Amino acid sequence: MTFFQRASGILLHPTSLPSRFGIGDLGEGPYRFIDFLVETGQTLWQVLPLGPTGYGNSPYLSYSSLAGNPLLISPDVLYGDGLVTQEDLDAFPEFSDDYVDYDLVMKTKFPLLKKASDAFKTNASEELRGNFEVFCDRHSHWLENYALFMSLHEAHPGKTWRQWDTDIATRQPEAVARWTEILAEPIFYHKFLQFEFFRQWQGVRKYANDRNVKIFGDIPIYVAYDSVDVWANAEFFCLDEETQAASLMAGVPPDYFSATGQLWGNPVYNWEKLEETNFQWWIKRFKGTLEYLDVVRIDHFRGFQAYWAVPQGETTAMNGEWLEAPGEKFFQRLKDELGTLPIVAEDLGVITPEVEQLRDKFNLPGMKILHFAFDSDRANPFLPYNYTNHNCVVYTGTHDNNTTVGWFAERNFEENARVTNYLGGICPQGIHWSLIRLAMGSVANQAIFPLQDLLGLTETARMNTPGLADGNWGWRYRPEVLTPELIDHLRFLTELYGRIVYQETDDWE
């Protein structure tokens, strides 16, 4: 059983799509991008986590592992449904077409979403209202807690759930009932936002699937501490019994990105408790995620075999330890539930034979990053001639890497000579197309490129710099950059290297 047949695709988070409302949304932008994918022969669209973002606007620090980001809701679609007026849309300020100003977007968009929610409550059609009720009922296992959590968050500005009154922080039934009654109006609002996100996203996904494009997205292994996941399921996380703070924090030891490691701060899982419940929390999380996505990349897959745990109070990730996780039991349980595992393993960082065995036991594709291929010896596993089988996904770089042009520019002469010699020279179109060609021509079943690399952009278009708290996640593209010349060249290479998928087949045979 393999993953997909030989194919290729583009990495682009929806926030980077064109839109006149300051941030990419689920209006016209994704449909035109899918048309671009079809024209160029791409059959995969990879996105980052789609949840509502918290501190730093990072999609990897979400208030919920199953909710959608309300900032992606399209005002144009709301207008089409009669929930906002043309005057409302005209009142939006002029935004940058190149970068997301999150503060300004939130300041202007959330009042519009509240107005749409009020209009929905009083004026929605019977069909729309019925769809809303079906959505709320079907997703009640996470939606009820999420809507209450977000409403509580707004009622306690600037505070994490641990700083709320003890009775509601610890979810005493009387406190939950009391606050649910007090916050009935904002609870409805947050349910409406999720309904609208889900409805708009499903339209995008259907448009993609009908054109043989699959949505490939992320499950970050960890959830944010200040999230409904931890607040509503505290027993499944390593928390201090008295303070409810994370007693063991997630991260990675010193690596390519940081000499002191990365201290993420998320609480690690209490795997013993999860196993006692037959991993039901994780099973529900996967099933819920697959309502949004066709294929899931598990970010930090190695944490299912063993995870880096850093004690409370540490300020870097250096003083942690590896603890084993019941990954084999979990993935067997997940396979029993799903039948197949539409999963890619992000197997980067400190990878041991045990991690590789877990990945291979369940036939999960791993990842190959060309930016990592040229700075060691000829046994470097990211060099294409060392790919031992087809079951992997090759990237020029990921959302955490510099752009390929930026990466090449910051290397010294000797380092770049290794790249140039391997390639036999840089092609006339530039280093970015040279690496795209290298990925396209590899044996990897899938080849994926950030849109920034297709456009040959410099480091100013970088999506994320790990360890940098501010200035990330903001890059956007303008529609005119997807030129006929770009379309022709990308399709030419896609056909040249045998990655055109001419008809749908059973992906899992």
| Residue-wise pLDDT tens digits, 33-68 | 999 999 999 999 999 999 999 888 999 999 999 999
Please report whether residue 358 resides in a domain: yes
Please report whether residue 329 resides in a domain: yes
3-state secondary structure 38-65: HHHCCCEEECCCCCCECHHHCCCCECCC
Q: Which pLDDT tens digits describe the chain residue by residue (509 residues)?
A: 345 689 999 999 999 999 999 999 999 999 999 999 999 999 999 999 999 998 889 999 999 999 999 999 999 999 999 999 999 999 999 999 999 999 999 999 999 999 999 999 999 999 999 999 999 999 999 999 999 999 999 999 999 999 999 999 999 999 999 999 999 999 999 999 999 999 999 999 999 999 999 999 999 999 999 999 999 999 999 999 999 999 999 998 887 667 898 898 999 999 999 999 999 999 999 999 999 999 999 999 999 999 999 999 999 999 999 999 999 999 999 999 999 999 999 999 889 999 999 999 999 999 999 999 999 999 999 999 999 999 999 999 999 999 999 999 999 999 999 999 999 999 999 999 999 999 999 999 999 999 999 999 999 999 999 878 889 999 999 999 999 999 999 999 999 999 998 755 444 33
pTM across the whole model: 0.96
Please report whether residue 44 resides in a domain: no
Q: Which of 271, 290, 300, 404 is nearest to 339 (CA)?
A: 290
Please report whether residue 143 resides in a domain: no
422, containing H or E segment: helix 413-423
Please report whether residue 65 resides in a domain: no
DSSP structure string for 257-274: S-TT-EEEEEEPB-HHHH
Q: Which of 343, 264, 246 is nearest to 301 (CA)?
A: 343
Please report whether residue 281 resides in a domain: yes
Active site residues: 299, 346, 400
Q: Which residues pair with 11 in a beta bridge?
A: 46, 450
| Residue-wise pLDDT tens digits, 106-128 | 999 999 999 999 999 999 999 99
Q: What is the span of the domain harbouring residue 343?
A: 233-364
Interatomic CA distance for residues 358 and 69, integer angstroms? 32
368, containing H or E segment: strand 366-369
Q: Taking a C-beta distance cutoff of 8 angstroms, is the pair 393, 448 a contact?
A: yes
Please report whether residue 330 resides in a domain: yes
Q: How many domains does the chain have?
A: 1
Please report whether residue 270 resides in a domain: yes
